[in-house]
Amino acid sequence: MELKDIFPVWEKMTPEQQKRLKRSAVKRTVKKGKILHRGGTDCIGLLLMQQGQLRAYIMSEEGRQITVYRLFDLDICLFSASCMMSSIQFEVFIEAEKDTDLWVIPAEIYKEIMETSAPLANYTNEIMATRFSEVMWLIEQIMWKSFDKRLAEFLLEERNLEGADTLKMTHEMIGNHLGNPREVVTRMLRYFQSEGMVKLSRGTIEITDPDKLESVCGA
């Protein structure tokens, strides 16, 4: 796939702008587990995903984490180019959750084009609004939802993403997604196991009763 096949407003760019994007964008393949971006001082550029899975998370001073959103095929990661906008004043980390093919577009080129291109600026607005909506959803989850529901939802989402009932995940990894200490995750998973919803073994969680897990989410 070429850049033009996945760049969202390609046909609304001028030939000159298209040429600049094409010349500056670099295709990369990143391995699962690779951390692509570490907070505010990094500015590797925009990431345009061809295929794969990334997660954006924040980290406390003590190293606790919480996933703020995930990115999938054809998504664009703006905040890895945070130097592009002075108003972006927060530190986000980006990690590859699966092997990922992506295009890296240098922040200064994107910014330069965006400054004169209303279509690109408006598209960027829509991306930001999408992330904003995800982050607002997260606040609602944290504030109003009990942990059993959040965990049940997370397990079902993972099952969906992996297309498998057995998830290769440690309790610590789940804690890093949901922003909770490992012990809290372990305690709730054991409760789920005692209710027959999951089966735990070293480094894996098997979802044995997805319907019952679903009913926890809705309860």
The interface with a second copy within residues 76-105 (CB under 8 A) comprises: 85-90, 92
Among 37, 131, 159, 171, binds a second copy (CB under 8 A): 131
Residue 41 makes contact with a second copy by CB under 8 A: no
Among 26, 129, 164, 165, binds a second copy (CB under 8 A): 129
The pairing of strands 166-168 and 76-77 is unpaired
Residue 219 makes contact with a second copy by CB under 8 A: no
> Measured between alpha carbons, how far is 47 from 25 in angstroms, rounded to an integer?
10
The interface with a second copy within residues 136-165 (CB under 8 A) comprises: 136-140, 142-144
Residue 201 makes contact with a second copy by CB under 8 A: no
The pairing of strands 76-77 and 65-71 is unpaired
> Measured between alpha carbons, how far is 195 from 210 in angstroms, rounded to an integer?
12
Tokens read off for 35? 């951390």
Other C-beta atoms closer than 10 Å to the C-beta of 27 total 13
> Measured between alpha carbons, how far is 2 from 22 in angstroms, rounded to an integer?
9
- Select from 3-11, 119-127, 169-177, 207-215 the region that touches a second copy (CB under 8 A): 119-127
Binding region for a second copy (CB under 8 A): 58, 60-62, 64, 66, 68, 85-90, 92, 114-118, 121-122, 124-133, 135-140, 142-144, 179
